[in-house]
Structure 1
Amino acid sequence: MTLAEQLDAGTGTTRPPRRRARRKSTALSLPDRIVLLLMVGIPAVVHIALVWVPTIGSIVLSFSEWDGIGGLSDIKWIGTKNYVDVFTAYPRFWPAVAHNLIWLVFLIVIPTAFGLLMAVLLDRKMRFSSIYQSILYLPVVLSLALVGFIWQLMYEPDKGLVNNLIGQVGHINWLGDSSINLYAVLVAAAWRHTGYVMLLFLAGLKALDPALKEAASLDGANSWQTFWRVTFPVLKPINIIVLVVTVIEALRAYDIVFIINRGRNGLELLSILITDNIIGESSRIGYGSAIAVVLLVISLGFIITYLVQVFRKEERS
């Protein structure tokens, strides 16, 4: 007799029989495996076919000279000559880079600041906040091509809304003057981008622990001090997401400028140069691919920075 049995016999108590812990089976059934394989496999195949295969193809073709008409045997490999020509002998490249940088700085400063302001105001549980959110977010559901059409009508010199409001009917050609058309188009792009930024910041504010604000209020902090010393630092992950999204939006901008004047007359962007060289009249696929790779490298720099921040956060937690 064991010690536990002796103790039970002396006290006159009985122990309930031990039950063997049953291990729950985690194995998936065959139908579940098939469904899981289809749900994961089909998007993965489509993503590889539509994203990674063209990307790798562009990288390979950037070292070649090919007009796209002949077969693969007509491809002439020229090494890094396309990259050298892009950086040194292509007069439209550096203006396009400057326009992309202006586009990036403008989207980071104007829509980001305005979107943050709108998110803070809407987070205060004001009346009709859901209606205001819908109004501000509505432009986001529109494509940039449609935004271009809308703002073309608003910028029309004779009958457009903008010139009528400022009393300059027929005097200012917002989209025809190369010195101002880039900024006119940026206002249209910012109008759409502000709602997306507002939604991201608003999601971050809704997830903020109210106890932090209450503690700051008890310490005597006013609304401004509470925002900069408590709220804004907690929004750091959202700030990184907004930055990366804005960078990608600025670098891939194409639709709106192509709709307005096909990316000419002061609206040259890197994405326009890629299209002009690959499917334009010259059809220099290798040259356009080299510009696409340059744009890819710039984009990856920001994306990798974002992923590093995310992984560091997970390691700390």
Structure 2
Amino acid sequence: MSTAQPATQAGTGAPAGGGKVKLRHQRMNSQDRTTVVLMAAIPTVLVLGLVWFPAISSVILSFTDWNGIGPLSDINFIGFKNYVDIFTIYPPFWPALQHNLMWLISLFLIFTPLGMLLAVLVDREIRASRFYQTSFYLPVVLAGALIGFIWQLLFSRDQGLINAVLGTTIDWYGNPEVNIYAAMIANGWRHTGYIMLLYLAGLKGVDPAIHEAASIDGASQMQTFFRVTFPVMRPTNIIVMVITFIDALRAFDLVWIINQGRNGLELIATLVTANVIGEASRIGFGSALAALMLLLSSIFIIIQLRIMVKGDD
């Protein structure tokens, strides 16, 4: 005995006569709702507690002269005095700003292009490419203290490899005229591997058909990269630009290990640490320096977001 089936339009599976099929929205049970709430609440609490609360607290404390020792009731608001003092009567600030700028220029003009070059070479699947990829990326996973120790062996005045090769007795870390350049080289060693990995991921995402089309049109490998591949990797280029700027601004660990950011190695981050946890603790003044770092970082983050939004449009 056959069962009558509802009539449908041929080839569509829809009910005959153009009727609409009503879809039932399945409601989440209590367990699913709890899971969704926890997945949204836990990251939100972590971001608020570990990022926004310290950032806002630093901005508020930057308008005080609190030394971090007395009770919160002793906090005295002094307005913009800390900021005025930074630009007028705090001598280490301008050398530190200059050193951060030098750090940024070295990353942009030397080590970022070097990382991009290594990514292009490794992407060609040359022999032992995985070994080279691991070797170049290895400094990224090393702690700053270990990197400082490794380069101390190379830069040592009496037993260092560099002086032994050059036949000199330069105190690379102790001489204030050259130690900033030595520190930038050590930091660039780590930065190069990180940039290589980012560009390598970007190159893997480029459609091979684009390269084939450029080759058919008679473009050389260099022309293909700079006129076709490099523009296609626009999102990667933006990420690299922002990461490079932020790395240059927050440079701290390597310099602090060498000599705590003194004697020619002053950076803004080391000045913040020296004022917050130094012998003469000045939480308010150090917070003002940290607020300036936050402002500079925010400017480039906003620029990145505007560029990405315009690109999506």
Instruction: Give the total of aligned pairs.
Output: 300
Whichever residue aligns with residue 268 of structure 1, its letter is: E
1:218 to 216, 219, 225: 216
How high is the sequence identity, in percent, across the aligned residues?
54
Name the amino acid aligned to 1:298.
L
Q: Hey, what does 1:50 align to over in structure 2?
A: 50
Q: Secondary structure at 2:69's aligned position in 1? A: coil
Q: Which residue of 1 aligns with 2:203?
A: 205
Backbone CA RMSD of aligned residues: 1.9
Q: 1:88 to 1:188 in 2, by over 3 A?
A: same
Q: 1:84 is matched with which residue?
A: 84
- How far is the alpha carbon of 1:162 from its aligned partner? 2.0
Deviations 1:134-166 (A, max 9, x none): 111111111222211221222112222222232
| Structure 2 partner of 1:155 | 155
> Cα offset for 1:17?
6.7
Residues 125/92 of structure 1: CA separation in 2 closer, same or farther (3 Å cut): same
Q: Report 1:183-194 matches (<5 A).
A: 183-194=181-192
* TM-score normalised by the chain length of structure 2: 0.91
Task: Tell me the distance in 1 between the aligned counterparts of 2:305 and 2:26.
Answer: 31
- C-alpha distance in 2 between matches for 1:207 and 1:89: 51
Is 1:258 matched up with 2:261? no
Question: Structure 1 residues 218 and 99 mapped into 2: Cα distance closer, same or farther (>3 Å)?
Answer: same
> Structure 2: how far apart are the matches of 1:16 and 1:250?
61
Runs of 4+ with deviation above 4 angstroms: 15-20
Q: 1:16 Cα deviation (Å)?
A: 9.7
Q: Taking structure 1 as reference, are residues 65 and 218 closer, same or farther at Cα in structure 2, changes over 3 Å only?
A: same
Residue ranges of structure 1 left out of the alignment (5+ in a row): 1-7, 9-14
Q: CA deviation at 1:73?
A: 1.6
Do the aligned partners of 2:93 and 2:268 also contact (CA within 8 Å) in 1? yes
- C-alpha displacement at 1:35, in angstroms? 2.2
1:221 alignment partner AA = A
Q: Quick one: distance in 1 between partners of 2:89 and 2:14? A: 88
Task: Note if 1:232 corresponds to 2:225.
Answer: no
What does 1:298-313 align with in structure 2 at a 5 Å threshold?
A: 298-313=296-311
Q: How does 1:262-281 map to 2 (within 5 A)?
A: 262-281=260-279
Q: Counterparts of 2:14 and 2:229 in 1: how far apart (Å)?
A: 55
Mapped to 2, the partners of 1:72 and 1:96 lie a distance apart of 31
Amino acid at match of 2:72: L
